[in-house]
Chains A and B, each alone.
Chain A
């Protein structure tokens, strides 16, 4: 019975649409363009986020133990379940101003090393200074690390362009330069550069290599030296670092481990997402704006659907009246026109989905070059395709066609046969 009715409804709907081939094709094309753009937008937006996240993970620790003690009188005001995804604690605390350091760091390192789910631990000293080569100089951020440990945080090892991390570790006065930074002062592999530290002292360093992380700001401003040298420059004793970078085995463990480490060590911790919240939220907002625009494409497609259906309803008034007079119910007639809208929407979504898939592939296969000011650099546009994008796009197309079809469908179903059959 249900099947029969569906067949009856679809039969009429299809005949109506095939009777208006050109307009039908045009509207399906409109929905298809909307769907295609939506798939592409999903792919690009998710791609940018994935690219940025991957690049952040590649170059920075997932958790950083910061050289700030949780101290002072702490009063817990409010907390959520510690296992919830968006765990929060609201505390009131007064922190005295003091030097940022982790001391003794070896104790913290062995404490963290012993925790399950920890992949790598790399203590470091971050300092600033000015780097000079011949007549060119540039301010920079210098990170003092134990190269073997730092190599296991992110992909620094893979990002090396010249020289090696190994070379840095056996060159006591070696320095690994970001590729942009090296370019700006014109220094290359094995050149001798001069570094002026925050303490005002001058150090002659050998370029042990260069690296390219994909982040413009990092490659233009950062450099690595050995931990011991950085401790000397910063005036730290041998058991002091400014912070500790940590890599976990799984991304899911980052938040709980970060809280656990903070609790165990008494130092503040920061996850990679917290550290890059500004950057990530900027892109998120950007993506939201793009989606808003894509929805407009769909709204226009929706007008197209409504337009075709209104035309059909007007042209088919007499047929509708005849069908009503032979006992076709109001509900069935409404479904006929809703089905016509749905057919347009679904056909458009399917065609647009396939086109979107290939367009997304095509765009990610195109070689691109980023300007020097780009936030993130790479050699192609990263895109991501997930089944859920196609499901969402199809659902959206169906929603739009249902909304657009509803008015004409109601109008058709409420026609009074006598008014039309007489005329």
Chain B
């Protein structure tokens, strides 16, 4: 219990869609509960539209449940204000999306520096030093000053991973990070994640369609129609 870094308790998420005058409410997640332990490497799998992204955003404090609670590091993030959530995300979470979502006007180094500078967590020099270090670890030492459009898809995604790791997050949340990559680039990202988890004990939750990738993780949560279909520990 002590080691549960993320706890979901009876989380219910509905979606209200306005269709002209009437409002249609659909339930995406009827009632889901599980824990993620510190140091765990978890894959969330399931068919498209089953609610994986929704679940990830709830864990990351980007969205709020209609009922139930989400705890991160023993704090109830589902009860936090916008500003508290922003501070929490900056300090404790790192996000990687299906698309790299790098800011196009900034170089690779600057993109990685951004989370450190966003709330004044680090000075410019310190942030640059860490950004260079992270990018070098990702094998991008020679691409530091490239703008995102001067990088390949795999390189872009590695910069995005470096950015997510900038503030030493407690959890790395990734939503189909290889969904848009060729198999070789995808393989690089898998190995990067696995190495991070093994070497530094980085807690990782990754949504993926890729059976092979999922099988390399420590635990697979399979979602069907917004419900936990199976929870398999692999190690």
A55 at the interface (CB under 8 A from B): no
B83 at the interface (CB under 8 A from A): yes
Instruction: Please tell me if the beta carbons of B89 and A327 are within 8 angstroms of each other in the complex.
Output: yes
Chain B nearest Cβ from A89, distance in angstroms: 61
Residues of B within 8 A of A19 (CB): 104-105
Contact with B along A2-32 (1 / 0, CB 8 A): 0011011000000110110000000000000
Instruction: Please tell me if the beta carbons of B101 and A4 are within 8 angstroms of each other in the complex.
Output: no
Residues of B within 8 A of A18 (CB): 105
Q: Determine the residue in chain B with the shortest Cβ distance to A320.
A: B103
Q: Which of B115-123, B199-207, B217-225 forms contacts with chain A?
A: B115-123
B63 at the interface (CB under 8 A from A): yes
Instruction: Please tell me if the beta carbons of B114 and A326 are within 8 angstroms of each other in the complex.
Output: yes
Instruction: Please tell me if the beta carbons of A326 and B82 are within 8 angstroms of each other in the complex.
Output: no
A330 at the interface (CB under 8 A from B): yes
Instruction: Give Cα distance in the complex from A275 to B119, angstroms.
Output: 65
Residues of A within 8 A of B119 (CB): 327-329
Residues of B within 8 A of A328 (CB): 86, 90, 118-119
Q: Which of A79-87, A120-128, A131-139, A414-422 forms contacts with chain B?
A: A414-422
Instruction: Please tell me if the beta carbons of A326 and B105 are within 8 angstroms of each other in the complex.
Output: no
Known: A319-B103, A327-B115, A329-B119. A418 touches B63 (CB 8 A): yes
A332 at the interface (CB under 8 A from B): yes
Which among A4, A16, A322, A324 is the interface contact of B120 at CB below 8 angstroms? Answer: A4
Instruction: Give Cα distance in the complex from A422 to B101, angstroms.
Output: 12
A1 at the interface (CB under 8 A from B): yes
Among B57, B90, B91, B101, find the residue whose CB has the most chain A CB atoms closer than 10 A: B101
Which among A15, A16, A418 is the interface contact of B62 at CB below 8 angstroms? Answer: A418
Instruction: Please tell me if the beta carbons of B123 and A327 are within 8 angstroms of each other in the complex.
Output: no
Q: How many residues of A contact B (CB 8 A)?
A: 25
Instruction: Please tell me if the beta carbons of B101 and A322 are within 8 angstroms of each other in the complex.
Output: yes
Residues of A within 8 A of B115 (CB): 326-327
Instruction: Give Cα distance in the complex from A276 to B46, angstroms.
Output: 89
A232 at the interface (CB under 8 A from B): no
Q: Determine the residue in chain B with the shortest Cβ distance to A319.
A: B103
Contact residues of B between 134 and 168, Cβ < 8 Å to A: 163
Instruction: Give Cα distance in the complex from A5 to B120, angstroms.
Output: 7
Among all A-B residue pairs, the 5 with the closest Cβ atoms = A327-B90, A15-B105, A326-B115, A328-B118, A327-B89
Given A318-B101, A325-B95, A421-B57, 12 further pairs, Cβ under 8 A: A5-B120, A15-B103, A15-B105, A16-B105, A325-B89, A326-B115, A327-B87, A327-B89, A328-B90, A328-B118, A329-B86, A330-B86
Can you name 20 A-B pairs with beta carbons within 8 Å?
Answer: A4-B117, A7-B124, A16-B105, A18-B105, A319-B103, A322-B103, A323-B114, A325-B62, A326-B90, A326-B95, A327-B87, A327-B89, A327-B90, A327-B91, A327-B118, A329-B87, A330-B86, A332-B118, A417-B62, A421-B101
